[in-house]
């Protein structure tokens, strides 16, 4: 299976050198861990590449330049790890409160030799002063309540990136929201808001 050909609809530029190999390594790790820990409901390699890697890389291509990104409710590392791979000079924090998933994220960061941090606790427990250029959320349980917490982690002038299905959601008012962008394939939407 050639990862790059499956990802083609999601990319606005070719993958940087070495990223395809890292994605293949990441995929192997997910498949291995998913056999004993429920990291993702998507079990097949092609589905993981399209659904998780593709959507995450698509978001990464939409984001403006940033230094820091918080992946809120990272799960198995989406969108944070694929974004980190294509934005190697940035610093991504993977926030995941479930112990087994946080352990997986630590192993993925170590195996892939990427500069991401793992915050193995609820985002609410982060120091109040810790804010980010971008806070990204994808398929987080209790999305509406989580958005309220996420807003407090976006620095002034920063971005809130929401990856949603087609559900309607009340959006924070102190952000300028761009028009929703449809994700190729599944019909999900990405909403990008700039904090005033």
**Which DSSP letter does residue 46 get?**
H
124 is in an annotated binding site: yes
Burial class (CB in 10 A: 0-12, 13-18, 19+), 179: exposed
Q: Is 194 helix (H, G, I), strand (E, B) or coil?
A: strand
Whether 160 and 175 have beta carbons less than 8 Å apart is answered as yes
123 is in an annotated binding site: yes
**Whether the bond into 81 is cis, omega within 30 of 0:** no
Q: What is the CA radius of gyration of the chain?
A: 16
78 is in an annotated binding site: yes
Distances (CA, A) of 103 to 42, 110, 117: 19, 11, 12
80 is in an annotated binding site: no
Q: Is 189 helix (H, G, I), strand (E, B) or coil?
A: strand
Neighbours of 31 (CB within 10 A): 15
d(CA 52, CA 30) in angstroms, rounded, equals: 11
73 is in an annotated binding site: yes
Residue list for the binding site = 73, 78, 123-124, 138
Residue list for the binding site for S-adenosyl-L-methionine = 73, 78, 123-124, 138
């Amino acid at each position: 299976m050639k990862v790059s050909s499956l990802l083609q609809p999601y990319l606005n530029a070719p993958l940087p050198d070495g990223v395809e190999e890292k994605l293949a390594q990441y995929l192997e790790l997910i498949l291995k861990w998913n056999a004993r820990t429920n990291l993702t409901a998507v079990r097949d390699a092609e589905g993981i590449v399209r659904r998780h890697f593709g959507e995450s890389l698509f978001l990464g291509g939409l984001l403006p330049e940033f230094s820091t990104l918080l992946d809120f409710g990272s799960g198995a590392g989406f969108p944070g790890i694929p974004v980190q791979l294509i934005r190697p000079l940035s610093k991504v924090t993977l926030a995941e409160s479930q112990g087994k998933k946080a352990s997986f994220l630590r192993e993925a960061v170590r195996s892939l030799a990427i500069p991401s941090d793992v915050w193995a606790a609820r985002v609410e427990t982060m120091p109040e002063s810790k804010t980010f250029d971008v806070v990204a959320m994808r398929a987080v349980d209790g999305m509406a309540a989580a958005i309220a917490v996420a807003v407090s982690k976006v620095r002034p002038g920063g971005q809130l990136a929401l990856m949603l299905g087609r559900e309607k959601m009340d959006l924070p008012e102190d952000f300028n929201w761009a028009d929703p962008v449809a994700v190729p394939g599944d019909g999900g939407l990405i909403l990008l808001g700039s904090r005033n």
